[in-house]
Amino acid sequence: MTAELFKKMPFSLVYQNNMLPVSHEVFNIILSYVKEKTNGRPLDIALDVGCGTGLSTLPLAPHFKKVQGVDISESQLNVAKQYNTASNVSYMLGAAEKLPVNNDSVDLVNASLAAHWFNVDKFTKEAARVLNTNGCLAVHAFYPGLEVEYKDLSHDLNKVISEIWNTLNPYTDPIGINLMRSQYHDIYESIPLKDKTWITDIPVQFQMSISEILGFFRTVYMFQIFLEKDEKRAEEFLMQTKRRMQDILGEEADSVLLNVHMKNYCVLACKH
């Protein structure tokens, strides 16, 4: 049921408009790693697996001759194509466990906020198969939680945020959420390459309005399951949450930007 959410056009549009972008901190870590392992040579092909609507695909375009996004969802890919602004980016239908790519043909296999949906062992073997010599694998996501900071109101605001997660908790996928909470430890262990590294607790900060924060929660699959099971209750819950945050912030609620703190993590590997 959860995987089917990503195949529905309404959700794909919500995802495109509200999901957080790949953090600059994580992106810079990945690029530095790839350049180090490839000795600074020109980079040919990057493969973005589980690319969704292309939020993690387009940032790769300036650094590679060609970037290919792969996803199992036609609706996600249709949105990605609609928003594609790079001539060297293309998208194709395919599964992470059986990549539609030749052996030893890719400089980077990237999976952003996606690998917890894959069959991990099959995906990591496929990534190793398609990578060139000195090609790199980058698998990354953020910890399923966030904290907000604003003047002396942080405690009250974070209490509301915690209650959102608690409300959504019954709708979690246990395998996926455990992978994310472990910061992809099992993915790191499953990679069949000797040269690999695991970077945890990467601090990332965004500035977001109340509407943007609640928009982000709409992209969380647990909320989408909640919405499917009881649309009226789910929408009322979001509206009540918005009113509570507005009450805490007072008159400036609709214009204020809150500092949002998240932990990111990244698994990196190189094929020799």
pLDDT at 40: 87
pLDDT averaged per 10 residues in sequence order, the chain, 272 residues: 66 92 94 95 96 97 98 95 97 97 98 96 98 98 96 98 96 94 98 98 96 96 94 97 97 94 98 97
Q: Tell me, which fold does domain 2-270 have in CATH?
A: Rossmann fold (3.40.50)
**Closest alpha carbon to 244 in 162, 176, 173:** 162
Tokens of 223: 């909320």
94 phi, psi to nearest 5 deg: 180, 160
23 phi, psi to nearest 5 deg: -70, 145
pLDDT at 5: 64
Terminal CA-CA length for the chain: 39
pLDDT at 2: 54
SS (H, E, C) the chain: CHHHHCCCHHHHHHHHHHCCCCCHHHHHHHHHHHHHHCCCCCCCEEEEECCCCCCCCHHHHHHCCEEEEEECCHHHHHHHHHCCCCCCEEEEECECCECCCCCCCEEEEEEECCHHHCCHHHHHHHHHHHEEEEEEEEEEEECCCCEEECCCCHHHHHHHHHHHHHHHHHHCCHHHHHHHHCCCHHHHHHCCCCEEEEEEEEEEEEEECHHHHHHHHHHCHHHHHHHHHCHHHHHHHHHHHHHHHHHHHHHHCCCCCEEEEEEEEEEEEECC
pTM over 0.85: yes
